[in-house]
Amino acid sequence: MSNINISNLKLKKTLQKPPVVPEEAMCLKYVILEPVGFPINVNGETLKVSVEDHALFNSYAREQWENEIVKEGAYLFDSTIIPEYAFKVVSLYPKEGGIITKDTLFKLENNCKPQNSPKFKETTFEEVVGQIDAKKKCKIVIKYLENPELFGEWAPKNILFYGPPGTGKTMLARALATETDVPLYLIKATELIGDHVGDGSKQIESLYENASENTPSIIFIDELDAIALSRQFQSLRGDVSEVVNALLTELDGIKNNLGVVTIAATNNPEMLDNAIRSRFEEEIEFKMPDDNERLKILELYAEKMPIAVNADLKKYVEKTKGMNGRTIKEKFLKPALHKAILEDRESITQKDLDEIIKKIVKNSTPLNLYG
């Protein structure tokens, strides 16, 4: 590196004519780069590039690549520190490509792999039966994620889903991520409690830092009451308290988490600490399915099963009363499917369904019927 004349390189860059920028070029919100090396590798060694100070790297990247027009798959070449070292554009927003500006966010692929964001099975809004109010809110979130700057201070940022388990809270969050094709950081609140005091707050900071660096993105915190119970219900341990304080900092928007939406879920909103609960702009209730919705759930899952269901599903609308979507799938339809497969049959019969529903009624109480 001692042979690099940085002054001459900067002078060379200064003398270059500025590129002609088409008026129709869109400004890029973010660019994700993958370091790929030199066009010609003479000594056979690969130079590995990593970044520890993300703010410094962003300033450096904008300085040399501002006004560059790029698309996914294009290459950007370093012209200062490691001349001719190539970075491949692996992802960007807008997806069609555009122009790099002084506001474009950069991230290296080897530093930005989303944590707590595994590949989930794609879910559609149609698979979430009912929950009209929640779906309406999701449409607003979609518009925000598509154009965060349009909303400004009126952005939908913190939303609370509440209701009985198995009614589609997590499924709707996955559908929202599928619809918008953005990273989903799905985590259970208990996972935010570390082994030592201080671990939890660091995990919260890391979670939001990763989401902010990969915007637009969604953070979904399940079982929020596990860490945010009102003090009248528990004596908060120090490690839980510092998690709550760190979360409050993020929900308050002290940091500019532009393009990040936080959705939390709980079965018992009335048990939440008021300080946490007050940070959510809207609380959306997830209700148990009514008769029409249970029929739709039965039909939806019957269509997805690997063998046919030869039975009139309308007969089971009343018999499944009190069940949520998860219970219908896991405790009613799945056992019937397994029974038919075990007996090497090509279809599920009404007799199969009748046998399973009788077992459910016999073995269930009002407390465990909901799954």
70-125 pLDDT tens trace: 998 899 998 877 888 899 998 888 888 899 998 888 887 654 334 444 455 678 88
pLDDT the model gives residue 15: 45
Alpha-carbon span 326 to 323, nearest angstrom? 8
Lowest mean pLDDT among 114-123, 252-261, 268-277: 114-123
Where does residue 331 rank: exposed (0-12), middle (13-18), buried (19+ CB within 10 A)? buried
Q: Which CATH number fits domain 291-363: 1.10.8.60, 1.20.1250.20, 3.30.1180.20, 3.30.479.30?
A: 1.10.8.60
In the predicted model, what is the mean pLDDT of the chain? 80
| pLDDT band for position 25 (cuts 50, 70, 90) | low
| pLDDT band for position 21 (cuts 50, 70, 90) | very low
Asked if pLDDT for residue 19 goes beyond 60, the answer is: no
Average pLDDT over residues 298-310: 92
| pLDDT band for position 16 (cuts 50, 70, 90) | very low
End-to-end Cα separation, the chain, in angstroms: 63
Write down the pTM of the prediction.
0.61
Average pLDDT over residues 316-338: 92
CATH topology of domain 6-111: Vcp-like ATPase; Chain A, domain 2 (3.10.330)
Average pLDDT over residues 269-284: 88
pLDDT the model gives residue 120: 56
pLDDT the model gives residue 114: 40
Domain residue spans of the chain = 6-111, 125-285, 291-363
Q: Which CATH number fits domain 125-285: 3.40.50.720, 3.40.50.2300, 3.90.220.20, 3.40.50.300?
A: 3.40.50.300
Tokens of 41: 């590798």
pLDDT in tens, 167-185: 999 889 888 888 888 888 8
pLDDT the model gives residue 204: 84
pLDDT the model gives residue 75: 92
Q: What b/e readout covers 101-133, taking b as 16+ CB neighbours within 10 angstroms?
A: beebbbbbeebbeeebbeeeeebebebbbbbee
| pLDDT band for position 342 (cuts 50, 70, 90) | very high
Asked if pLDDT for residue 266 goes beyond 50, the answer is: yes
Average pLDDT over residues 183-207: 75
pLDDT the model gives residue 227: 79
pLDDT the model gives residue 52: 67
Asked if pLDDT for residue 282 goes beyond 80, the answer is: yes
pLDDT the model gives residue 115: 42
